[in-house]
Amino acid sequence: MTDRADVPSVLVVDDDPMVLRVLVRVLQHWGRVELTALTDSRAAMEQLASGTVDLLISDLRMPGYSGLSLLDAGREHRPDLPVIIVTGHATQQIEREIQQRNASLLRKPWAREALLAAVEHALQR
């Protein structure tokens, strides 16, 4: 069994339970991360405040807090927190905002390889 300390802790947030489950299934099968999956952005906010998250993967538009709000809150606790924003409708404005915050953008519908590449890249930074 891998030493727990070596396994990055990933917080996955999407208000659509179907999409969230698929994210979790693919990442679980990959097996290199420890996952916390939440549909509620408010609960995600609390989780980020604990400072134990190594990577945030979040949907952009959600009730409560947007992915960008979660990103900002997470960086307050951990300024170098890697973040992947997942969205199906990234406007140029959104793309700019993600880029300015030095986060990654993953477009829906994503392919497994694209998700894993984004996660690997984010964790190596």
Partner 1 sequence: MADPSDPPTADLSARVGSFIDVLTRFASGDWEARAERDGSGEPMDVLAFMINATVEEIGDLMAQQRRQREELERTQAQLVHAGKLAALGELAGGVAHELNQPLTVLTGLLGLAQCDPDALDDGDLKLMAAATEAMSRIVDGVRLFARRSEMRRADFDPILPMRSAVALVARRVAADGHSLEVVEPDPGGSIVGDQDRMQQVIVNLLVNAADALESKGVEGGRIVVEGRWVEEGFEYCVDDDGVGIAPEDRERIFEPFFTTKEVGKGTGLGLSVSYGIIEDHGGRMTLECKDGPGSRFRVTVPRDGLPKDLDPEGPP
Site for partner 1 in 76-105 (CB under 8 A): 88-89
Considering CB under 8 A, how many residues would be counted as binding partner 1?
A: 20
28 vs 10, 20, 65, 112, 115, CA distance in Å? Answer: 11, 12, 25, 12, 12
Cα gap 78→73, rounded to integer Å: 9
- Interface of this chain with partner 1, residues 23 to 62, rule: CB under 8 A: 23, 25-26, 29
Q: Which two tokens stand for residue 103?
A: 């986060």
Q: Does 110 bind partner 1 (CB under 8 A)?
A: yes
Torsion angles phi and psi, residue 78, rounded to 5: -145, 95
Choice between 45 and 116, CB closer to partner 1: 116
Cβ proximity to partner 1: between 7 and 26 the closer is 26
Nearer Cβ to partner 1 (23/71): 23
